[in-house]
Amino acid sequence: MPRWTVRPLPVRTTELPNHIKICPSCHGPTWAATKTSRSVTTLDGVVRLRLQIRSCRNPECRRYKVCFRPEQEGRFALPQHEFGLDVIALVGMLRHAEHRSVPEIHAELVRRGVVICVRSVGNLLDRYDELLTLSCSDADRLKRITAKAGQVILAIDGLQPDVGHEVLWVIRDVLSGEVLLARSLLSSCQADLVKLLCEVKAGLDVPIAGVVSDGQSSIRKAVKKALDDVPNQLCHFHYLREAATPRSN
């Protein structure tokens, strides 16, 4: 498909380190394999992500030479997607909460500085609707996602395009890069998150090796309640971002 709009240059570069230092399959060390980059169009402009790829070099391992991508990458965008998850969340919110048409959503995105054509808005709306139809009762889908690793590391992110509106909660598997469940919720209270995590846990027939999330108290408490025996690691990206945020007092 030809591109109808000229993509702006990245406004910044973000380094995404890779913290998967131990192979989840053989528990040996992983090695820094290569660095790659991709550009993602977000609500804050085009961001160039520099990604550290690691791999297992144990020839006996089932994940020998399989690439591990940084766990934070999925927070920005779906695999092979040009537009960020934050843009998809906004498109979905404008359509379903504010009942705006595709041309109206396009106009709003342009107003916010996002370079996009009308046809791409329609595609993003399709992606949003597909995300919300993902179900953890689809055993075949989950088996396909988890077959290679035999386990999952969950990452939980809440995307709220505008304060006071719905939050798009996305639970994904870091090892496969796939989204397991996504739900749009008006509130983001602990009980709602516990319900989502329990839904994921009930659908999986492989162990949950860990959870990566930000430091939000409702998420941490929900993880503890739903997955008490699973280690919850504060995402390094969130940790660094929070450490860099000036405190108001």
Which spans of this chain sit near Zn ion (rule: CB under 5 A)? Answer: 23, 25-26, 56, 58, 61, 63
The nearest distance, CB 110 to Zn ion, in angstroms, is 47
| Among the listed residues 132, 37, 54, 45, the one whose alpha carbon sits nearest the alpha carbon of residue 87 | 45
Cα(224)–Cα(11) distance, integer angstroms: 38
**R_g over Cα of the chain:** 18
The nearest distance, CB 61 to Zn ion, in angstroms, is 3
Closer CB to Zn ion, 7 or 62, in the complex = 62
The nearest distance, CB 56 to Zn ion, in angstroms, is 3
| Among the listed residues 42, 40, 167, the one whose alpha carbon sits nearest the alpha carbon of residue 93 | 167
Q: Are 168 and 159 in contact (CB under 8 A)?
A: yes
The nearest distance, CB 229 to Zn ion, in angstroms, is 23
Closer CB to Zn ion, 58 or 184, in the complex = 58
Closer CB to Zn ion, 65 or 195, in the complex = 65
- Strands 152-159, 208-213: pairing is parallel
The nearest distance, CB 55 to Zn ion, in angstroms, is 9
Give whole-number Cα distances, 150 to 94, 215, 223, in Å: 38, 27, 21
What lies within 8 Å, CB to CB, of 98 at 6+ separation is none
Closer CB to Zn ion, 56 or 196, in the complex = 56
The DSSP H or E segment spanning 207 is none
Closer CB to Zn ion, 53 or 97, in the complex = 53
